Amino acid sequence: MTIPAPLVIPEQEAKTVEQDAAHLVRHLAHEIRQPLSTLDSLAYYLAIILPPTDVRAQDQVEKIRQLVAEAGMIVDDAVHYVQASPSHPVNISLGQLVTRTLGESSRERWNVRLDLAAEPCVAHLDPVQAQHMTRHLLDLFRQLVRVETPFTIATERRGERVHLRFTCSTVAITAERLKARFEPFDNAAPSGNGLSLASVRRIVDTHSGELDVYAGPDDRIIVAVSFPAAC
């Protein structure tokens, strides 16, 4: 029996396929965001005109807004995963990135301990992509831990690299299983999150960064990203 040779795609052809995928996702994102924006505006209007005492109707309107937000995030995940939007890196403080993202997520109940380095931890990152990365890592740890259990976010500079670490303890998942969540279309990912953490890895890779998931002492799970220091 003859075993067929593995399929080898020439580098130029592979690059063309990536460019076509990026163009397609960019076009679809543009077309999908318009009706999503309209639906969100309609839901906002309904929330105003419906009687506040009609709890059932208000709950349904809130569900619509949540579904719109989730659909928008799925679109963003795809855009960042295929790098459909051009990157415009600037110098960003990792500490300020964390605090800003936490502040914009104030509607959520966070139980976070911040351990931010006194010295500047500055990386050369695209602001939109950096915030997308941080928001998804925050969401991940919010899902991993119970409300009353804190998790820690730390920044540190070591030599010529700056580090951002998320740490939590006592979670019902192994480091290896969590590491698999950063691969595209992981079967264990919650519905609608097939590209969420994969887009995080792609953003890290695009900015010459490194991402690692490992087990620490006392059953801790650690997700760490690092980038070349910008200054």
Q: Are residues 198 and 183 in contact, defined by beta-carbon separation less than 8 angstroms?
A: yes
Phi, psi of 177 (to 5 degrees): -65, -40
User: Could you give the angle at the alpha carbon of 182 between the alpha carbons of 67 and 5, nearest 5°?
Assistant: 120
> CA-to-CA distance for 77 and 199, rounded, in angstroms?
6
Q: Quick one: pLDDT at residue 43?
A: 93
Q: Which domains does the chain have, with CATH numbers?
A: 11-81 (1.10.287), 90-228 (3.30.565.10)
The predicted-structure confidence for 91-101, as pLDDT tens digits, reads as follows: 999 999 999 99
Q: Alpha carbon 101 to chain centroid distance?
A: 11
Q: SS3 breakdown of the chain: % helix, strand, coil, rounded to 5? A: 50, 20, 30
- Give bridge partners of residue 136 from the DSSP assignment: none
**pLDDT (0 to 100) of residue 172:** 75
**The pLDDT value given to residue 105:** 72
pLDDT tens across the length of the chain (231 residues): 556 655 555 666 656 767 778 888 888 999 999 999 999 999 999 999 999 999 999 999 999 999 999 999 999 999 999 888 888 999 999 999 999 998 887 555 668 889 999 988 999 999 999 999 999 999 888 888 866 678 899 999 999 999 999 998 867 788 888 898 898 877 666 665 678 899 999 999 999 999 999 988 877 899 999 999 997
pLDDT digits (tens, 9 = 90+) for 192-211: 567 889 999 999 999 999 99
Angle between helices 127-144 and 196-206 (to 10 degrees): 140
Distance CA 167, CA 154 (A): 8
- Residue-level pLDDT at 61: 94
